[in-house]
Amino acid sequence: MLKDAGCRYVIIGHSERRHIFGETDDDVNKKVKVVLKHGMIPIMCVGEKLEERDNGMTFEVLEKQLSRGLKDFQKDEVVRLIFAYEPVWAIGTGRTATPQQAQEAHKFIRDFIERTYTKEAAVKVRIQYGGSVKPDNISNLMSQEDIDGALVGGASLDVNSFTEIVKNAVL
């Protein structure tokens, strides 16, 4: 139905789906497979809650979400995905990961892809940042080596804010 409606990208594993509706890593895995099967591009979201970050568990959480979400995937499938790091503690809270925190998480994701698949796959995948992206923080986020784009939420609902994000992202 999504493909028939002209949809090209499908967000899977968004924090609201995981934490409000109980979507599991296994659910994410199945949905990503279906989206690929139907020729669309999955945007697979991963990220930790505040207590997980505060307890030093960020990389452990990301490792688990990536391992389970990508179970039984081959390199040629993985390079067709877009990943989105969305720290749950920074979504709709006005808090944003610092560029350094975001970079560390993005690098971890890229390194995971390299370890699990190949360096070529790690270079090819796109990793977006999503978590209170605003016009005043996008350029610092986009200046990080492993951040390839932004998954903009609430700020995309305001045309002026979104326009400024786009302008500032490409400067």
The tokens of 23 are what? 């979507």
Between the alpha carbon of residue 37 and those of residues 32, 58, 89, 118, the distances in Å are 9, 31, 32, 22
- Residues carrying an active site annotation: 14, 86
Q: Where are the alpha helices (DSSP H) in the chain?
A: 15-19, 25-37, 50-54, 58-69, 75-78, 99-116, 119-124, 138-142, 159-169
